[in-house]
Structure 1
Amino acid sequence: MFARGWLLLICGLGFAGSLLAAPSVGFRQLQLVDPLDQRPLSAIAFYPSSSPEGRSRIGPYRLEAVQDTKAAKGRYPLLVLSHGNGGSPLAHHDLAIYLARQGFVVVAPWHLGDDDQGHSRRGTVSNLYGRPMQAAEAIKAVVDDRLLGPVLDDQHIGLIGYSAGGETALILAGAKPSPQRLQRYCAQHRDDQDACGAADGLRVDRDDLVPRADPRVGAVLLLAPAGLLFGPEELVGVRVPVLLYVGADDQLVPRKHNADALAQHLAQTVAYRLLDGAGHFVFMAPCSPEQAALMAEICQDAAGVDRTAVHRRLNAEAARFFREALGVDASALVEGQGDREQHAERR
């Protein structure tokens, strides 16, 4: 039984064409300990595999990956993915699997207290500073894992942050958030229920936590990031390349005060991608029929927005971005990869 309490169905049969040269992808569930209160914490890691391809299903999510298959020989840089408020890493499975196929290990924790199982920490100081600590614990778990540790290059780390996960990624990259900035914003924008809710800022539930950066971080990908806690002074410690994607019609995390402000205030040059007509949820993986029935709000895009096309572009650019920023040898990629992935999308 998967850690999230969902039924896990594995099909061990290889696909037609599984002998194509491009590598397959495995995934591995990791059981951690939450550094905030020692409760059990779950994470999932995707990695290049030398085993035949297969499909898996976790709840409504259909994955082009197989659990606990043999890791392909090599040394793979690590990418850490942080989901949004009340979310799940599986909402970004297509990006994670694409990057694993391109030669990365991708690990993503469920942020306990702010995931799809519960929201008890949302809007708190412990959530703001605890999320990066949970991500750091996931890094340690991959390094120590008997299957993934031997093929991991943990000295080259990239970060992916979606929505509130953008705050997590920025903290790990060296940013120091200012709760006072959020408080001032909420006093002037009480209509922003997502950021402010019933409070005028963060609820201080702990006073013993501080932001902790990881000096190994070499690049950051931000997707519709929350940025209200950061101004120029708070971002001065972020000295790595940043690729930023945002929907032009994001009503949940308004880009003027979040993504646009981050792009302006980050000291490093930011590659900025504005998606016309797109909303906040366009960065979640294209929905299966089961998801569309269960999660209509996050699966429906505005007229004229092709989520599959958005992800085709985003996934490919993310791979190029991390290869260049982290110094991954592009010649290690297998020819024919793009053709096969387009074939997989048509299935």
Structure 2
Amino acid sequence: MKNILHIAALTLALTANSVLAQEVRTGLSDLKISDARRDRPLEGFIWYPTKETARLKAHQSNGVWQGIQAIEDAEPLTGKRPFVVLSHGMYGNARNQNWLADALVQHGFVVAAIHHPGTSSWMRDPDQARQMWDRPGDISRVIDHVLTDPTISTHIDPERIYMAGHSLGGMTAVALAGGRFDAPKMDAFCAARPREMVCGLLDLWKIAKTPEDAKAMQADLSDPRIKGFAMFDLGATQTFSTASLNAIARPLLVIGAPKGESDVNLDVESRALRAAVPAEFVTYMEPENLSHFDFLGVCKPGGLAILQAEEPEDAFICADGVEERMADQAIVIEAVLAAFQ
């Protein structure tokens, strides 16, 4: 009976949101955060529901990526709404999950994403990358900003704040959920399995190589304001202490990507996270056609050819990147909506 009632309630919520989706468009504005961290300014985007219809056009698109239809600096709908912060993967950027942001907005959410300094497409500073503890802090700073900025705070429900992260953004999400970096565990893991992707990455960025850095990494970086999390084919599960993963007590949606060539080892990443966190707090999925790069945007039909000609080493990110990717993303969107409703 409890499950039947839950399904009925979820169906009503999704039906109501479907009606909302027919009535709104996506507003899009630049997001700039200026606070006490003047050494680490944050920039990105915020997407939100609007009733405006004029000026609707493609945004965040180019010859490769489809982008989304949005209205720049539109007037937001009134009322407080659930809020989601997105965290991109290694050398990604705030545009990468705009497809998810657009879908969430159509169901009543406000969504924000920033470029993480040091590990984003255009900010690959090795010293900032070394300070990996700042990544969860970036997300907390976004939440601080939207809850205090007078032009945004009136649209945010502080009791419905969520977070989703892809790849390295998934590691960021685990830290915010209560995972604690464990330097000795990581050293032992990499001594036994030095070819694992996360081991090479931590060496490249010199993560926790000094006592001061190890202390900063092993601090409690969680944010209790976040009510639920989604991890998309995350990396670096092995960096967290087993005890801290066992103690996570907030809902996690963990989605692994089994298809295609990727350096992400599901057995030591998504599947390992599912096994470590108490079962009542984890919803786990592994859609059979989902690949690691399906969490990026949808490619244009000619996007693959452009990459093959201009950036051949990156062309794989548009393999099966149009219709099949859209189908895979529809599965992810449905799961995220169910998790965050």
Could you say whether these structures have the same fold, taking a TM-score greater than 0.5 normalized by the shorter chain as the test? yes
- Partner secondary structure for residue 112 of structure 1: coil
Specify which of 239, 242, 247 is matched with residue 232 of structure 1. Answer: 242
Cross-structure match for 1:251: 262
| Paired AA for residue 26 in structure 1 | G
Question: 2:331 — aligned with what?
Answer: 313
Q: Deviations over 1:242-283 (max 9, x none)?
A: 111111136221101000100000124321111224331122
Measure, in 2, the Cα distance between the counterparts of 1:198 and 1:130: 15
> Structure 1 residues 76-85 or 115-124, which shifts more?
115-124
1:143-167 CA-partner distances (Å, limit 9, x unpaired): 2334322111123211101101111
The DSSP-based 3-state class of the residue aligned with 2:207 is coil
Query: Aligned with 2:48: secondary structure?
Result: strand
Q: Secondary structure at the match of 2:267?
A: coil
- The amino acid of 1:106's aligned partner reads V
- Report the Cα offset of residue 216 of structure 1: 1.7
Equivalent position to 1:140, from 141, 144, 166: 144
Q: What is the alpha-carbon distance in structure 1 between the residues aligned to residue 291 and residue 176 of structure 2?
A: 26
Superposed displacement of residue 26, structure 1: 0.7
Residue 336 (structure 1) aligns with:
none
SS at match of 2:297: coil
Structure 1 pair 197/316, CA: closer, same or farther in 2 (3 Å)? closer
Taking a change above 3 Å as real, the CA distance of residues 273 and 138 of structure 1, as seen in their structure-2 partners, is: same
Secondary structure of 1:90's counterpart equals coil
Partners of 2:187 and 2:128 in 1: how far apart? 12
Q: Distance in 2 between matches of 1:173 and 1:289?
A: 38
Instruction: Write the mapping of 1:295-310 to structure 2, written as runs, cut at 5 A.
Output: 295-301=314-320, 306-310=324-328
Look up the match of 2:284.
Answer: 272
Q: Within 2, Cα distance between the matches of 1:202 and 1:45?
A: 30
In structure 2, do the counterparts of structure 1 residues 285 and 68 end up closer, same or farther at CA, with 3 Å as the change threshold? same
**Secondary structure at 1:228 match in 2:** helix
Q: Which moved more, 1:174-183 or 1:43-52?
A: 174-183
Q: Deviations over 1:104-150 (max 9, x none)?
A: 111111100110013224895512x1001111111122223343221
In the alignment, the residues of structure 2 paired with residue 289 and residue 305 of structure 1 have an alpha-carbon distance, to the nearest angstrom, of 9
Aligned residue among 311, 322, 346 for 2:340? 322
Rounded to whole Å, the distance in 2 between the matches of 1:55 and 1:233 is 49
Q: After superposition, give the CA deviation of every residue in 1:278-326 in whole Å (9 maximum; x if it has no partner).
A: 3311221211357542452212149x99211111121122112201xxx
The structure-2 alpha-carbon separation of the partners of 1:183 and 1:35, relative to structure 1 and needing over 3 Å to count, comes to: farther
CA distances 1:160-217 after superposition (whole Å, capped 9, x unpaired) = 0110111111111222121332222222222224542483972436536333221121
Letter in 2 for 1:105: V
Q: CA deviation at 1:49?
A: 1.1
* Amino acid paired to 1:41: L
Q: 2:222 aligns with which of 201, 213, 223?
A: 213
Is the 8 Å Cα contact of residues 77 and 105 (structure 1) preserved in structure 2?
yes
Q: CA RMSD in A?
A: 2.8
In structure 2, the CA distance between the partners of 1:116 and 1:283, relative to structure 1 (3 Å rule), is same
Question: What TM-score, normalized by structure 1, do the two folds share?
Answer: 0.79
- Report the Cα offset of residue 66 of structure 1: 1.7
Match of residue 117 from structure 2: 112
Q: Is this contact kept in 2: 1:155–1:216, CA < 8 A?
A: yes
Q: 1:211 to 1:204 in 2, by over 3 A?
A: farther
Q: Are the aligned partners of 1:32 and 1:42 in contact in 2 as well (CA < 8 Å)?
A: yes
Matched, 1:180 2:172: no
Distance 1:247 1:183 in 2: 26
Structure that is richer in helix per residue: 2
Q: Distance in 1 between matches of 2:38 and 2:190?
A: 29
- Structure 2: segments with no counterpart, 5+ residues: 1-19, 308-313
Q: 1:167 to 1:35 in 2, by over 3 A?
A: farther
Aligned counterpart, 2:175: 171
Q: Is the 8 A contact 1:240 1:268 kept in 2?
A: no
1:150 matched to 2:181: no
Label 1:235 to 1:168 Cα distance change in 2 as closer, same or farther (>3 A): same
Supply the distance in 2 between the matched residues of 1:112 and 1:215 (Cα, whole angstroms): 23
Are 1:36 and 1:130, in contact at CA under 8 Å, matched by a contact in 2?
A: no
Does 1:223 pair with 2:223?
Answer: no
% identical equivalent positions: 24
Larger deviation, residues 266-275 vs 36-45: 36-45
> Which one of the candidate residues 196, 201, 205 is aligned to 1:192?
196
The answer as to whether partners of 1:43 and 1:138 remain within 8 angstroms in 2 is no
Give the Cα separation in 2 of the matches to 1:22 and 1:138.
28
